[in-house]
Amino acid sequence: MQNWEDSLEPGNRARVEAWLRYGNDLGLGPYYRDRAVLQQDVAASEGLSAKSVDQAAQTVAAAVGQAGAVSSVRVSPTSVPPVAGAPLSSSSVISSAAGPSLFEASDRIEGDTFQLIRETIGDCTRCKLHKGRTNIVFGVGSLKAQLVFVGEGPGRDEDIKGEPFVGRAGKLLTQMIEAMGLRREDVYICNVVKCRPPENRLPEKDEITTCSPFLFRQIDVIRPKVICCLGSCASQTLLQTTQGISRFRGEWFDFRGSKLIATYHPAYLLRNPNAKGEVWKDLQKVMAVLGLQPKRK
């Protein structure tokens, strides 16, 4: 029997494939695959009948099905990114996708320690970033931290010093931490990749895939109360989404027992000081969860 895809005209087929990719980017693919299970979960957690959830799903499906109607597909910010972490907000209809995320798929290692992680990394040549590095930038701070900041990768200053966030952006992060009533040594600071990308470019997908399991192990060992992702790269890696950070910045996600929030990267704030107010609002949310008072001047 002929597949339905084979019966499509090449032009229509390309259009359908583009829509499927778009739906997949929105996290809708796994949702529809496992819709029966998710409907029960969502209905149970939100007090909705399965019928009303189904109607909402059909509305989204109808919108996705309209070729050329990208702007008509409206997905609420709380429903956008989470594959790895479920949003804590109660307003999402499209919940987290079933199946393990990159994070969940990497097993917790019983009895893991930072020493073991560092020994495993060794003089790492697993990805091409090793070629240009001076130092592996492992991370810095308290192993008992309740708050972990995750950035994207080391810059020039960090590469030279072997410590994350020590350049201009790092100084701003330190000021932000102190404004929260904490010291730099009270938190843990690390990055998605541990070697400097050339010309300070964003880490590439293969580099992130290769290096991020070490970050996941670090988070696993610390088990912080709150993870604060700084910028798109960190938040997209941990939440396993391709959505832009502005779609979910300031929202809470449940991330394997930790609460996760994404905010703008300090380097972005250096270029866009007007966004500092938004970041401060995000940090105040973190402070409320951790029971912190702002630093007195």
Which residue in the set 57, 94, 129, 228 belongs to the binding site for ligand SF4 (CB under 6 A)?
129
Shortest approach of ligand SF4 to residue 104 CB, angstroms? Answer: 20
Residue 195 as a binder of ligand SF4 (CB under 6 A): the answer is yes
Residue 121 as a binder of ligand SF4 (CB under 6 A): the answer is yes
Angle at 56 between CA 47 and CA 262, to 5 degrees: 75
Shortest approach of ligand SF4 to residue 165 CB, angstroms? Answer: 16
For residues 83 and 211, which CB has a smaller minimum distance to ligand SF4 in the complex?
211
DSSP string, the chain: ---TTTTS-HHHHHHHHHHHHHHHHTTHHHHHHTHHHHHHHHHHHHT--HHHHHHHHHHHHHHHHSTT-GGG----GGGSS-SSSEES-S--SS-PPSS--HHHHSPPPTT--HHHHHHHHSS--SSGGGGG-SS----EE-TT-SEEEEES---HHHHHHTSSS-SHHHHHHHHHHHHTT--GGGSEEEESSSSPPGGGPPPPHHHHHHHHHHHHHHHHHH--SEEEEESHHHHHHHHT--S-GGGTTT-EEEETTEEEEEE--HHHHHH-GGGHHHHHHHHHHHHHHHT--PPP-
Nearest Cα to Cα of residue 190 among 169, 208, 225, 163:
163
For the chain, counts of helices (H) and of strands (E): 12, 7
For residues 193 and 222, which CB has a smaller minimum distance to ligand SF4 in the complex?
193
Residue 193 as a binder of ligand SF4 (CB under 6 A): the answer is yes
Which residue in the set 210, 223, 275, 276 belongs to the binding site for ligand SF4 (CB under 6 A)?
210
Contact track, ligand SF4, 136-175, x by CB under 6 A: x---------------------------------------
Which residue in the set 35, 184, 194, 259 belongs to the binding site for ligand SF4 (CB under 6 A)?
194
Residue 182 as a binder of ligand SF4 (CB under 6 A): the answer is no
Residue 217 as a binder of ligand SF4 (CB under 6 A): the answer is no
Shortest approach of ligand SF4 to residue 149 CB, angstroms? Answer: 18
Residue 130 as a binder of ligand SF4 (CB under 6 A): the answer is yes
Shortest approach of ligand SF4 to residue 115 CB, angstroms? Answer: 16
**From 48-56, 94-102, 128-136, 218-226, span contacting ligand SF4 (CB under 6 A):** 128-136
DSSP E strand boundaries for 16-175: 86-87, 140-141, 147-151
For residues 82 and 203, which CB has a smaller minimum distance to ligand SF4 in the complex?
203
Residue 118 as a binder of ligand SF4 (CB under 6 A): the answer is no
For residues 42 and 136, which CB has a smaller minimum distance to ligand SF4 in the complex?
136
Which residue in the set 15, 118, 126, 225 belongs to the binding site for ligand SF4 (CB under 6 A)?
126
Shortest approach of ligand SF4 to residue 177 CB, angstroms? Answer: 25
User: Who's near 1: CB < 8 A, 6+ residues apart?
Assistant: none
Residues that bind ligand SF4 (CB under 6 A): 121, 124-127, 129-130, 136, 193-195, 207, 210-211
